[in-house]
């Protein structure tokens, strides 16, 4: 990554951090783009170069969440079942720098969840985003295991993974002093959700490896 790209990435991250902290302190509706820009020491025009609206700050990582696991799924390894491929893709995504969750970043992730929970319009959009995310992952999974996995089975697997992620995020919100990082919790939840349970060949966690 060149210096220009690094500066742009830092500015984007700063805007996100400042906006989330202001949303928590003052309330989402009460916080203006002008206030976010001033706190980040940039102009409103610079803010709009990165985000078309303050709502987009909340959902800024959507493209990464949607596309990255799909690209990693496409790197399917010999002998992998659909569940194993999905679990590997999500674990590898957690290992990349954009998802590294240090204590400060963890607080920002949870701050975003709290803001979404407090604003009806954001909750509604979040539900649509989750549904879209699952559809994208399912479509990618079916494509990778063409002829060996159907839409229903893919939906079961991706739904289990996303449900587990949402569950541990909710628990992290309720836990005032968690003993593990959010990334570690997500990793464990995905593993638990996608571990192949005992059953027949129709189980979507075990099909597609042949």
At 70 the pLDDT is: 72
How far apart, in whole angstroms, are the C-alpha atoms of residue 34 and residue 53?
Answer: 11
pLDDT of residue 34: 96
Do 130 and 166 meet the contact criterion of CB atoms below 8 Å apart?
yes
Distance (Å, rounded) from C-alpha 27 to C-alpha 118? Answer: 9
CATH label, 61-210, candidates 1.20.1560.10, 1.10.10.10, 1.10.357.10, 3.10.20.600 = 1.10.357.10
| Residues 6+ away with beta carbon under 8 Å from 13 | none
3-state secondary structure of 138: helix
- Angle CA(111)–CA(20)–CA(113) in degrees, nearest 5? 30
Quick one: pLDDT at residue 106? 57
Q: What is the pLDDT along the chain (210 residues), one digit of tens a residue?
A: 678 888 888 898 899 889 999 999 999 999 999 999 999 999 999 999 999 999 999 888 775 666 667 777 878 888 899 999 999 988 887 776 544 444 445 567 778 888 998 899 999 999 998 898 899 889 989 998 998 999 999 999 999 999 998 888 877 777 655 667 777 888 899 999 998 544 333 444 445 454
CATH 1.10.357.10 domain locations along the chain = 61-210
The per-residue pLDDT for 64 is 60
Angle between helices 3-26 and 33-40 (to 10 degrees): 120
DSSP summary character for residue 105: H
Domain boundaries 1-54, CATH class? mainly alpha
> Which ranges in the chain are annotated with CATH 1.10.10.60?
1-54
Task: Quote the CA–CA distance of 53 and 23 in Å, as a whole number.
Answer: 14
């Amino acid at each position: 990554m060149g210096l220009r790209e690094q500066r742009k990435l830092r500015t984007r991250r700063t805007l996100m951090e400042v906006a989330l902290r202001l949303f928590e302190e003052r309330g989402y509706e009460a916080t203006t783009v002008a206030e976010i820009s001033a706190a980040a020491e940039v102009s409103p025009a610079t803010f709009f170069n990165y985000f078309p609206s303050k709502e987009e700050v909340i959902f800024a990582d959507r493209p990464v969440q949607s596309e990255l696991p799909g690209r990693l799924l496409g790197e399917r390894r010999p002998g992998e079942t659909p569940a194993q491929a999905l679990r590997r893709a999500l674990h590898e995504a957690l290992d990349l720098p954009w998802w590294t969750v240090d204590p400060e970043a963890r607080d920002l992730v949870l701050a975003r969840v709290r803001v979404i929970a407090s604003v009806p319009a954001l909750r509604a959009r979040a539900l649509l985003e989750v549904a879209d995310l699952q559809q994208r992952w399912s479509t990618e999974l079916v494509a990778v295991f063409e002829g060996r996995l159907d839409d229903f089975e893919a939906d079961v697997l991706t739904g289990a993974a996303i449900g587990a992620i949402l569950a541990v995020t909710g628990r992290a919100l309720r836990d005032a002093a968690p003993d593990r990082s959010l990334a570690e919790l997500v990793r464990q939840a995905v593993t638990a959700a996608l571990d192949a349970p005992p059953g027949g060949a129709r189980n979507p966690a075990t099909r597609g490896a042949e």
